[in-house]
Amino acid sequence: MAFREYLEQICSAVEGSVACSVLGFDGIAVDTFESRATDLDIPTLLVEYTTILNQVRAAAGVLQSGNVRELVISTDKLTAMSRPLTDDYFVVLALSPDGNWGKARYMLRVVSPRLQQEF
Amino acid sequence: MAFREYLEQICSAVEGSVACSVLGFDGIAVDTFESRATDLDIPTLLVEYTTILNQVRAAAGVLQSGNVRELVISTDKLTAMSRPLTDDYFVVLALSPDGNWGKARYMLRVVSPRLQQEF
């Protein structure tokens, strides 16, 4: 099963999904599935999001609080939820602010080990 | 009711709470309630967390994705969940990784308007 199918699986299971992507910590997307149109610039958002996730990883290192498991950023227009997959890659799900957080966390947790096997 | 009482109220309602704090976006804490001992350096963590939250606010501005509503950073040892209160202040709840996310989000959402009234 390819990345795209897993990303589609996550989007179809989570109410309010906008897009799901596997990215490198360098900000370059390996694969992205967009489940619905939005006026937001998703590729630019993903690059900004990667920058923040890198800062969070650096901060976690300084604080010796262990590895980053999840990062959730919720704004008026979008919620972005992510999990690191390997030292170099992570998965991020973008959903509408009224999207289902519980289902999103659950799906990312369940699908992540399968995505990891694809590397 | 003072800040401290609201912070204590949040901690006592959320399973796994470690500390709850009202901070300025300059990283200076207005008030902090620590509900249980931890080997993590909470004050330093809060300053690092403020830095990240400022970066997220700046990124949200660039992307025109609206104001930041919530930021959640979960590491192996700690989950930190926050909500902006005013342009200058925010509330953050630190809880153990197995803490109750749903209850934490709910309590921050319910208590935030009361904290805002204190300013």
Rounded CA-CA distance A93/B64 in Å is 19
Nearest to A59 among B52, B68, B79 (CB): B52
Complex ipTM: 0.90
Range of the domain at A61: 3-117
Q: Is A72 within 8 Å of B70 when comparing Cβ atoms?
A: yes
- Reply yes or no on whether the pLDDT at B1 is more than 70: no
Half-sphere exposure of B27 (CA within 13 A, CB side): 13
Percent of chain B with pLDDT over 70: 97
Environment class of residue B111 by beta-carbon count within 10 Å: exposed (0-12), middle (13-18) or buried (19+)? buried
- pLDDT tens digits, one per residue of B47-92: 888 888 888 888 777 767 788 899 999 988 889 999 999 999 999 9
- Reply yes or no on whether the pLDDT at A47 is more than 70: yes
A97, A77 Cβ separation under 8 angstroms: yes
Name the pairing type of β-strands A79-84 and A68-75: antiparallel
- pLDDT tens digits, one per residue of A61-103: 776 778 889 999 998 888 999 999 999 999 999 999 889 999 9
Give contacts of B76 with chain A, Cβ < 8 Å: 65-67, 69
Domains held by chain A: number = 1
CATH of residue B16: 3.30.450.30
Q: Is B73 within 8 Å of A55 when comparing Cβ atoms?
A: no
